[in-house]
Every structure is written in structure tokens, then in C-alpha cells.
Chain A
């Protein structure tokens, strides 16, 4: 092998004092700073057209954002749909997710909803039909209702926060849960604030 150049060896060179953490942030050399992941609710207005959902979900997958749920549906404007995305990421990741989302051409605007935003999820739970009265009693406790019943099964609808639905599902387990489907969270900001186009 040949090649190589003249000059002082690595251990003879001027060295900086500082350092950065793995997120590229300058840190006190004595203290380690790490960002803990937190949950964020992102709400996005998007053009209502084919391929938007796949574009958004592909973005989250290829950039390795940790996504918990994603819901999408129409708005009052037939050209616009609204997505609610729950992610769990350290602060810089949440910031990146917002910016990368905003960059997609069919995305009109993006905002992170504050902690007290109204969040609702819907679950349908199909359980054994052997004890319909007991099932109804539990459904009542969680403000739900039976939406279908047969000799072998009862299907119950429950709406609420994730925690409430988690608890309800746990309670229904005593009836032999046959099938379950959850929508993931939909969310809106409290008060008069709306999601206008970002300027």
C-alpha cells in the first residue's frame, strides 16, 4: 500500500474543548443532556386526494418516527381532509416530524395540539353473547352501548380517551373478547382556535 501525506499525527494536533451530544446539540462537557421521548398529537390539514395517506405514512416510516396512531377523515371542505397523528419522540424528533410533514406538497398545515386538547378514540368490542345483561352493565359504566347482538355475540361501542378505552377493554376481557377494533385518536384544540394554513 502507498499513499499518505505529511503533517503532525493526530495526537499532536490542536484540540477543541467542547463536544455535542448525539443530537448535534452543544453540551457542557461535564453534564450529559438527553431528551426523553414524549407523546405529541400532530394535527394536519391535507389535500383530500388519492395517495395522501400513503405519502404521510411512508414519510413516518422512512424517517423512523415512532408513530402510535394515525387517523384520517374528511372535513367540511370537500377538498380537505384532516389527519391526527400520535407520535412518541424526543423533542428534536417531534420538531423534525412537524417540519417534514409540512414539506409534503399535499399538506396544507401542521400543528401540534396542546396537552389539554380534546382527544377521543372509538373502539368496537365483540364479546361472547352468553351474559348480555352483564355486558350491558359494563358498557353503561364506560358510557358505551351495545350496537349489535346475536345469540353468540354482543358488539359494544365505546368512545373516550385512550385510558378510558384501555380500561374498558380490560373490563370486557371477562366476557371472552372475540374481536376488537380501535380507531386511534382524533383530536381538536379546545377553545376557538382552528388549524388554518400556516403562514
Chain B
């Protein structure tokens, strides 16, 4: 069970296994393996080599969502995996179907999102002959999955899928893929797939070494300036409650990474929100000046650390991670604790000899909050500020509202100015930074959590990349509110051009942008335009009230940029608060 924001999805175990017909083909064994693993939804696109699998799906209770493009299938499955905590499933045919999935698989790999991809393949006898729609899917995806399987036999194809499913979910989650040659899925077999079990070479650590835990706890208790850095792994491990208990008991300020947004409530006084390139000034001050950092489930990405030479340079680092390869990969761990985040937090909770004596430090953190407020001006005579749109929306919606985004400036505003309090309510593309993630991700998120409100902030550039997904949202009657923060540019690139390329705006301005409200209507969704402050609330309310997908085309100040900002490879403590400060650091 994952830690869901509100009502947990009901476990539907009503269908008895005795009702199941025995399998007769490899394809049926594939579908049976998915059924056994508890799959509710598959996101996919039909095609020649995957047809036997779809044919077997015809008789299954698994719901299939036909996507408009395979990239959308992998992103929707990814978002489904983030929101439910269980692997999202996507299907595509061989060749272009499989290559179109690749972006979403790579995205899931970077963010450790549980996804299983099943791809059609040309019949075994044609493999290697450059047959129609043949591509080396296993070869292409091997570097971006936990494992890619080539199904060699109708008798074992079900086991391949079961194992891939278990592997996607186990330990550090991530994507797996099974490539399914058409003769293997069409071939006859009576072999039922085995239970989802990870391969015997795959170890999943649970508890960390007790002695190491003891030493780490003592170091943390001794600290004068302690912080907790909570990464995406805390959410993945369903350790948000354990984190909250730990932080509150020992009164240690909490910084999250971007994927860790929602693991700790941002309205709590110990929260400093998130650190990194566009993190809050107070989080970046605290992360720079801490003398002991308890980092949990984070891989110390360069967008978080800036230059490692200036990253938390006074800090002893206690690094909790389920993946031993993350320990001392980017930042040296003085106290490596390999294990499941929830287990290790429990161990640490018990091992702490006392709370650190950190009154002064906590006061300092509060002082930074007032020194570096996340403020912005809203002059009436200037165009709409994107921050205002995000903040208004946040105030109008329940705490368990799920926010999806594309990638770019809008993503930063959505993460900075929305107040997150619950895990699995922030659905975004972090490590890979995939523009176009938002539209299909919102589809996956809504189906994963039909009782929660879903809003997707997107940029005009990002939205255009996967806008065809609106047809799916309309067909499936999904109540999603898309908000396009439209500045007629790929704004983040333009911001960098202005800051670091002498304002030479090559290929970053989109003066030919379509009218998104009309585009939405053409798809069968509701379209709205937003141009001034006076009807922000009213428009948001109308879009939320509409029972189906709606698109708000918010024409924002095209000159607005994202701050604070730590330039790439820079020192987190020297973030720029405005354009002028970029020149000072």
C-alpha cells in the first residue's frame, strides 16, 4: 500500500482465480501475468507486431487507454506509477512504436518511477534481418531500464512479464521492458505465468546496519546546524509519515529535493521547501551552512547540488539510500546507510540519543525565511504574473489536489508557488527534463486517482509537444484542468540566452503560437483565455467546475523569469535573486 493523499484505492480482490480460463497462447500468458500482478490500466497504441497481445487483452478485465502517441503512453504509465506507487503499464508495437516509448522510459529511469513497457517485435525468424518495423528494442532500451527482456519462448513469456513487473517495483523502483516477438505471443502454450518475483541476483536491502545507524544518529544529535534533505526516495518508500514523525520529534528543519516535494508539508514551520537551482533562498542558505545533513533517497543531482565543491561544504553527510551505487557517487557519504527509507528512519528514530541542540539554528532558518521571501510584484499596469495564477489555484483547491507539469519555467513556478502538503501530489519530469510530459501525465494521474482533483500546469512550448493527448482526455471524459502559462517562448531557454548568451534569442521565441482555447474546443474540451488579474479566480473556478478536460490559456508576462537562480555548477549559497545579481556571482 502506498501513502496516498486521501482515500486509498480499494483493493479489488473480488474476482476469484477459479473463474480464469487456462491460457492457450503466449499472449494470454502475458495478459495473465499482468492480471496476477494487479494491473488495472494499460496505456498503449496498437500496431502490427503487438496485435496478438491486444487480442488477448480483448478478453481481460484490464482497462486499456488508447493513447494518441506512444510517448504519451509511457508518460501516462509513469504518472500512474508515481500516484499509485505500483508499476504503470504501457504497450507499443515494434519499430516506431517502441522507439516512441523511449523518451518516457528514459524519464522513468531517471526519476526511479515504476513502469513496465511491453513492446511487440517482429517474429523471431525475422529478427536481425531488418524486417518491416524491426528495431533492436532491447539494445536501445538496455541502458535506460533496470532490465530489458527479450522473450524467447511462448512457455516462458509469462514468467518474463511477471519478473519484469516485480523488478520494476522492487528496491529502487524503475522501468523494465519485455520485447515480445509475434511468434512467441501467437505461439501455443498452456504454461501459466509464475508469481511476480524478482530475479535471484537482485537483492533488496531493508534495514541498515545497526552500528552504522547508531553512529549516524550520534552525529546528528551532536550537530549544531542539522538539516534533513528529503528526496524522491522518501515518497517512493512510503516513508513520508516516518519522515514527518522523525523531523517533528527531533525538531530538525526539512529541505526537500524537487522529486521529494510533498514528502514534508510545506506549511509546517520546519519546512524550508526545496533546494537547488530554483529552490527557495532559505533552503539554499540552510543547505549551504548546515554542519550535518541527513539525506534520504536522493541521488544528489547537479541541479540540486550546483558545483559539488561548494555543496554543503561544512556538512557531515548521512546518506540513506536503497541503492548502494548512489552512496558516494556524487557527494561523499560520511555515514552510509543502505536500506529502505522507512525502515532506516524508524531505526534512526530509535537510535537518536537526544534531539540536537539547535534552537539558534532553527531561529536562523526562520530568519532566512523572512529575509528571502518568495515574493513577486503584481502591478496592475503590467501583464499577468504566472506566480499569481499558480498561487490562486493552490488556494482554491483541496490539499490532495494532484499537480502535473511539463518542463520549463512554468514547472518551476508550479513547484515554487503551489503549497504541497501530501506525498504523490506532485507529478513532474525531473531528471530527464522532458518537455511534453504534462498532458499525458495528467491522464495517467487522473485515472490513478479519480477522486482527486488534477491540474496540469504547462508551458506553451511544452504543451504543443504532446497536445494530441487532449483527444484522449476528451474521449475518456477525464476531469483535468490544464493551465498553459503562455509566454510565447520556450522561456527557460530564453532566460538562459538573456543571462548567459548576451540576449541572442536563437529559436526560443514562438510568435506563431496557436490559440489554445480554440484548439481545446476543437478537441472537444472547454477552452478559456486569461489575460488580466480581474478574472483569474472566476476563470479558474469555471474551468474547475466543468466536468471534463478544460484548458486555460493564460497569457502571462512574457518577460517574467524564474528566481531565485543558482547558475549551472554554481554555489547554492550565492543564488541570484534578480537579473543584476546574476552578474555579481
Residues of A within 8 A of B (CB): 1-11, 13-26, 47, 50-51, 54-55, 58-59, 62, 92, 95-96, 99-100, 102-108, 197
Contact = CB atoms under 8 A, between A and B. Distances in A.
Contacts of B331: 20, 24
Interface string B125-164: 0000000000000110011001100100000000000000
B325 interface: yes
B557 interface: yes
B585 interface: yes
Interface string B559-574: 1111110000000011
Contacts of B300: 24
Contact of A5 (B289, B327, B329, B563): B563
Given A9-B584, A19-B310, A3 B563 contact: yes
Nearest to B371: A7
A8 B285 CA distance: 11
Contacts of B199: 105
A28 to B, nearest CB: 11
Contact of B313 (A2, A4, A16, A22): A16
B285 A14 contact: yes
A60 to B, nearest CB: 11
B498 A6 contact: no
A2 B498 CA distance: 12
B contact patch SS: loop
B314 A16 contact: yes
Interface of B: 138-139, 142-143, 146-147, 150, 167, 199, 201-202, 281, 285, 288-289, 300, 305, 308-316, 323-325, 327-332, 334, 364, 371-377, 382, 498, 557, 559-564, 573-581, 584-585
A contact patch SS: loop
Contact of A17 (B202, B314, B329, B334): B314
A17 B288 CA distance: 10
15 contacts: A1-B498, A2-B382, A3-B560, A4-B578, A4-B579, A5-B563, A10-B584, A13-B574, A16-B313, A19-B310, A20-B308, A54-B139, A54-B142, A102-B324, A105-B167
Nearest to B152: A50
Contacts of B308: 20, 22-24
Nearest to A199: B203
Given A8-B372, A16-B314, A22-B309, 9 more contacts: A6-B372, A19-B310, A21-B309, A26-B315, A47-B201, A96-B329, A99-B324, A103-B324, A105-B146
A2 B559 contact: yes
With most chain B CB atoms within 10 A of its CB, the pick from A7, A22, A25, A106 is A7
Given A24-B311, A55-B142, A100-B325, A10 B585 contact: yes
Contacts of B577: 4-7, 9
B166 to A, nearest CB: 11
A58 B375 contact: no
9 closest Cβ contacts across the A-B interface?
Answer: A4-B578, A18-B313, A99-B325, A24-B331, A3-B561, A7-B372, A25-B332, A105-B147, A24-B308
Contacts of B288: 15-16
A47 B580 CA distance: 58
A5 B560 contact: no
Given A54-B139, A103-B323, A108-B201, A3 B373 contact: no
B284 to A, nearest CB: 10
Contacts of B581: 9-10
A197 B313 CA distance: 38
Contacts of A21: 309
A4 B147 CA distance: 45
Nearest to A104: B147
Contact of A106 (B201, B375, B382, B585): B201
A1 B310 contact: no
A105 B202 contact: yes
Nearest to A8: B371
A92 B325 CA distance: 11
